[in-house]
Structure 1
Amino acid sequence: MRRIVPIAALLLTACASPKNNYDPLEPVNRGIFVVNNVVDRAVVKPVATVYADYAPGPVKQGTSNFFGNIDDLFSAIGSVLEGRFKDAGTSVGRVAVNTTIGLFGIFDWASDMNLPKPDQDLGLALGHWGIGSGPYLMLPFLGPTTLRDSVDPGVRWFYGPGSYLNTTGEKIAWGAVEGINLRAQVLPLDAMIESQPDPYAYIRDAYLQRRWYKVYDGQPPHPLQLGDTGEDDGDDDADLPPAKPASHASEPAAAAKPVIDASTVASAVPAAEAASAAADTTTVAAAASAPAKAEQ
């Protein structure tokens, strides 16, 4: 899961479907989405704006690098589960380098040592082995996910570095710092998402497209069926072989045709994921490219 994504790429849009067969809990999800927006506008966004405007550049970069180093740790686990041992070795190497000479990840020396950042997580590993996404979920303060993808934040919450903090206050502070850092990165996307006729559906459909794309390493067998067709990715995948275990790290740029590489959009408009780390370290995508939608 990546935390720093070029804003220009994120501005590529995806049209939202009026109805989505992945969202059987839509009335409940929309209610949570509204609450997340209220929290975001009242608390998260104002704090993130001050942070983005006034925090020194090295502080912001160091904070992003620190939490990105934790991402690399879980990326290694996901890569092992998929049999991507080269990617797993790269992630382990990044963690070793950045945790030591990078001072616990504050400095990203690994990228300068030809150790690219693989893009993997536990939800993708489960998808690789044919487990469908399950229903779409809008979680309080955490934002967009699915039943399958919620495994990753759950594992991070119980077994990640933050779980070793002693008090509830320390855990809240940890989560708040990460959440504000994530929210600050996506502030430029607010106007774009708020301009959508249905921001909720826009974020939902973009998230689902992005995850479908990533499960198949940028080469999905067919466009994801988002409409009210009675089909989901689990049904569609029933007769398909597992996703080709190509290396994320070495994936050619040309593969990013259907959707943009945007896995850091934690609550682009709502506190949806922007406050994600307030309960754990979830990072999710909330934007996809127009070509992906056009294929449908």
Structure 2
Amino acid sequence: MKRSSLALVLTVLLAGCATPQNYYDPLEPVNRKTYAFNKAIDRAVLKPTTEAYVRHAPQPVQTGVRNFFGNLDDLFSTLAALLQFKGTDAVHSGSRVLVNTTAGLAGLIDWGTPLGMKKGEEDFGQVLGFYGVPSGAYLILPFYGPLTVRDSAEPVARALIAPLDFIDSTAWDVGYYTFYVLDRRAQLLPVDKLLEVQPDEYAYVRDAYLQRRWNRIHDGHPPHPLPMGSEGEEDYFDPGPTPQDASTPAATPASEPAAVVASGAVMP
């Protein structure tokens, strides 16, 4: 029931929001309120808890947790690469999963990186873009963070596939999601000060996210820079990537701190 409901929600959102629009954030009033809600929860609970985790958890534990969830990311990246016929990316990601799951003790140790296996960055939002699904509206989800309607395919796909669903244990579920949230939030700690000095933090996060996704959907070679602006400018909700000439210049990616924010995280 839970999985079918998620699929239904995604279908409704795509049908209602995926039509071309000139303004990237038609739900801005609602998104800003949701962003403020997430921020309040983050300041009160999540950030202090994550800071305590970073301070007190032994570094090998933090590294093992990050590697474990990174191994799951590689699994989904492998599937996404295969669906886009990206054979080389699929081989690298799949090899990482095979090596790290076996020799790396269920992914706790990353042997793939020192062995030269490139970490993939494919996801199911990119898969939909590859097949021509428009981006849809920009969204801020409660307890999650920035997405577009198309990019919501990634958390939905992870919920539907859930490779560890066979572990039927409440304690496992609590531990799994607790460490998942802590690890994702820990990756955002270095950019907190950068966000605090932005005149409009919400707009900064939104623009960084949209630019990064535009660049990634087109594999680093978008047909033109993403036009950032108000209603009436060129529509960016295009049908996804087309084969690009190797000489096509890549769009300037977001700065490294912005890239962390734009990667899509649990908070803020």
Residue 71 and residue 264 in structure 1: after superposition, are their counterparts in 2 closer, same or farther (change >3 A)? farther
Asked whether the equivalents of residues 67 and 109 of structure 2 are also in contact (C-alpha less than 8 Å), the reply is: yes
Percent pairwise identity: 45
Query: d(CA) in 2 for partners of 1:243 and 1:147?
Result: 24
2:218–2:241 contact (8 Å) kept in structure 1: no
2:212 corresponds to: 210
Q: Distance in 1 between matches of 2:54 and 2:259?
A: 16
The question of whether the paired residues in 2 share the 8 Å contact of 1:21 and 1:227 is answered with yes
1:242 aligns with 2:242: yes
Deviations 1:263-291 (A, max 9, x none): 973699xxx83359xxxxxxxxxxxxxxx
Residue 182 of structure 1 aligns to a residue whose secondary structure is helix
CA RMSD between the two structures: 2.6
Structure 2, unaligned runs of 5 or more: 1-21
**1:6 corresponds to:** none
2:45 is matched with: 43
Task: Answer whether contact 1:82 1:245 (CA < 8 A) is retained.
Answer: no
Shift of 1:78: 0.9
The residue that corresponds to 2:27 in the other structure is: 25
Q: Does 1:265 align with 2:260?
A: yes
The aligned counterpart of 1:123 is 125
Q: Given the superposition, is the C-alpha separation of residues 90 and 48 from structure 1 closer, same or farther in structure 2, using an over 3 Å criterion?
A: same
Q: Which runs of 5+ in 1 are unaligned?
A: 1-19, 247-253, 277-296
| Rg larger in structure | 2
Alpha carbons 1:213, 1:220 under 8 Å: kept = yes
Q: How many angstroms does 1:218 deviate by? A: 1.3
* Residue 232 (str. 1) matches residue 235 (str. 2): yes
Q: Secondary structure at the match of 1:145?
A: strand
Report if the CA contact (8 A) 2:190-2:257 is conserved: no
State the secondary structure of the residue aligned to 1:201: helix
- Give the deviation of 1:229 after TM superposition: 3.5
1:72–1:94 Cα contact (<8 Å) kept: yes
Report if aligned partners of 1:90, 1:115 keep a CA contact under 8 Å in 2. yes
* Maintained 8 Å contact 2:226/2:236: yes
Q: What is the 5 A alignment of 1:79-98?
A: 79-98=81-100
Counterparts of 2:257 and 2:191, CA distance in 1: 12
Match of 2:185 in 1: 183
Within a 5 Å distance, the mapping from 1:56-205 to structure 2 comes to 56-167=58-169, 170-205=172-207
| TM-score (norm. length: structure 2) | 0.82
Change (3 A) 1:195 1:31: same
Conservation of the 8 A alpha-carbon contact between 2:209 and 2:262: no
Q: Which amino acid aligns with 1:232?
A: D
Q: Output the CA distance in 1 between the equivalents of 2:141 and 2:266.
A: 12
The structure whose RCO (Cα within 8 Å, separation 6+) is larger is 1
Asked if the contact 2:222–2:251 (Cα under 8 Å) also holds between the matched residues in 1, the reply is no
